[in-house]
Chain A
Amino acid sequence: MSNDQAPALELADITCRFAAREGGEPYTAVANATLAVAKGEFVSVVGPTGCGKSTLLNVAAGLLEPSSGSVSVFGERLAASQGVNRRAGYMFQADALMPWRTGLGNVVAGLEFRGVAPAEAAAKADEWLRRVGLAGFGDRYPHQMSGGMRKRLALAQTLILSPDILLMDEPFSALDVQTRQLMENELLALWAEDRKSVLFITHDLEEAIALSDRVVVLSAGPGTRPIGDFKVELPRPRDVSEIRMTPAFLDLHREIWGVMKEEVLKAYQRQKAA
């Protein structure tokens, strides 16, 4: 049964093995990973490149069935047979907008799939376009928009369904630094309105600290698992570009980097060897 005390999202002892091509050793991307996101908590997961962060997120989304371990959503076990995690919204790293739909068409998609009346869906989508700063751009196709606008569109597309859990896979990594900080602030503002539970994946430690309540550090792959868990007790509301200068931020950054650095070097050595 779903209940309010249970964490919004709980990954328990997750292991993901991928069959190797042409008879090699199977690749263990994630090993015995345990991770929980409380209701209303903003958790970031950082780790070196290629360490299986996205794998973990896909497991949480119900898009990927773990080899072993379980996923619980508000205390309810997520079974692969039931399909995806219906209480979660997912923002992808790559562009996931439908290029053949206009901005408005993309934002209404989720409501349309749920059978909401077109007029009602369009009205709600207009409202969301306004909230992400895209009022008047509803009739544009994605290819007519800049990278930042496409990200906002994707945000509106996900948030219009009001998911209880928001899964984000390096959503801003493709943006330039200025646009990225603007988007991070906008995300925090939207998040502050109703405090969803967020699981935010990134390789950027500064971004992770600036946004989150808690930062989880993953080890280098293969066999990735959490090796560090840090509370971020910086005051909110935050401005991501200003908070980076504060001493508390820098101390925390130094402390987490101390744990992360070794893993990054390990991952780097492994990539160089391969």
Chain B
Amino acid sequence: MRLRILQLWVLALLVGVWYVLTAPGLIPNFYFEQDNRAAFFFGEPQKVFWVIVDWFATGEIFRHLAITLLETALGFVIGSAFGLGIGLWLALSPTASAVLDPYIKGFNSMPRVVLAPIFAVWFGLGIWSKVALGVTLVFFVVFFNVYQGVREVSPTLLANARMLGASPRQLLRSIYLPSAMSWVFASLHNAVGLAFVGAVVGEYLGSAQGVGYLILQAEGTFDINTVFAGILVLTAFALLLDSAVGAAERRLMTWQPRASETEKV
């Protein structure tokens, strides 16, 4: 509780500083020559707040938010599924992984955002070009974690399961998958963020709806308050998605010891 109060104080302080530095005529100018310049470049917190209230009151934001969230969710789910599947396959098949190794390294070191214009050509300006960008970003994060996770399965655990009579299929289900899961969840937090990046960057580069589109439009008219409003809304929803992943993780990973949990018999 004490911590929450301190955290709220930090927020209040930040908004306060923002307000004091940008409100026209409140303090003497020390950098800009005109009173309203600071507000022009950095927006004003109370105006940003009213833009957000207005979006939700009129319902204008929902259509855009729904599109962006849909792109994010699709990018996240498809990218993670591919990452998990291909990560498992390559980790369990040394030949395939040795053959594909340079290509994987190549794709991974490529700045994949440059693919966005190509995806726009291939998949059009609808949601799928954004989903495709999200998938390429999410895939590698999940893929490398699954690959690593499967590679680091304890050999003792594997030998034990084999001695207990597990078939290769049962080994996959009972040992490899659960063992890789903790790595997967660690990567999913990053993956959610990257799926968002894919969606919004895709929208910047060409779209007719979505929060990225709203931000781009506002930027075109130098409406900084709306740009900040869009950024804040995106951040809030990214946090929300991240906590959803966190909740799923806590539910599925009950077996993991937590730092606070030292109870033993």
Contact = CB atoms under 8 A, between A and B. Distances in A.
Interface stretch (B170-178, B213-221, B225-233): B170-178
Given A95-B156, A161-B164, A161-B165, A144 B263 contact: yes
Contacts of A157: 164
B162 A84 contact: yes
A16 B255 CA distance: 39
A95 B263 CA distance: 19
A109 B161 contact: yes
B234 interface: no
A137 B164 contact: no
A145 interface: yes
Given A84-B163, A94-B156, A109 B255 contact: no
Contacts of B165: 86, 110, 113-114, 161
B94 interface: no
A34 B166 CA distance: 29
Contact of B178 (A58, A61, A100): A100
Contacts of A102: 255
A98 B157 contact: yes
Interface string B63-97: 00000000000000000000000000000000000
Contacts of B163: 61, 63, 84-85, 88-90, 158
A102 B178 CA distance: 13
Contacts of B59: none
Interface in B11-37: none
A246 interface: no
B255 A99 contact: yes
A19 to B, nearest CB: 16
B156 A100 contact: no
A111 B154 CA distance: 22
Interface residues of A, number: 35
B159 A96 contact: yes
Contacts of B255: 99-102, 141, 143
A149 interface: yes
Contact of A96 (B157, B170, B257, B263): B157
A88 B160 CA distance: 11
B157 A144 contact: no
A113 B157 contact: no
A144 B265 contact: yes
A92 B164 contact: no
B105 interface: no
A83 interface: yes
A92 B160 contact: yes
Interface string B252-265: 01111100010111
Interface in A114-148: 114, 137, 140-141, 143-146
Contacts of A140: 265
B159 A113 contact: no
Contacts of A141: 254-255, 257
A41 to B, nearest CB: 20
A86 B167 CA distance: 12
Nearest to B170: A113
A21 to B, nearest CB: 17
B156 A92 contact: yes
Contact of B174 (A92, A95, A99, A109): A109
A146 B265 contact: yes
A83 B174 CA distance: 18
Interface string B168-207: 0010001100110100000000000000000000000000
Contacts of A137: 265
Contacts of A89: 163
Contacts of A58: 159
Contact of A149 (B159, B181, B257, B265): B265
Interface string B146-163: 000000001011011111
A102 B166 CA distance: 18
Name which of A99, A102, A161 has the most chain B CB atoms within 10 A of its CB.
A99
Interface of A: 58, 61, 63, 83-86, 88-90, 92, 94-102, 109-110, 113-114, 137, 140-141, 143-146, 149, 157-158, 161
* A-B residue pairs, 4 tightest by C-beta: A96-B160, A110-B164, A143-B257, A90-B163
Interface of B: 154, 156-157, 159-167, 170, 174-175, 178-179, 181, 253-257, 261, 263-265
5 contacts: A61-B159, A63-B162, A85-B163, A95-B156, A100-B178
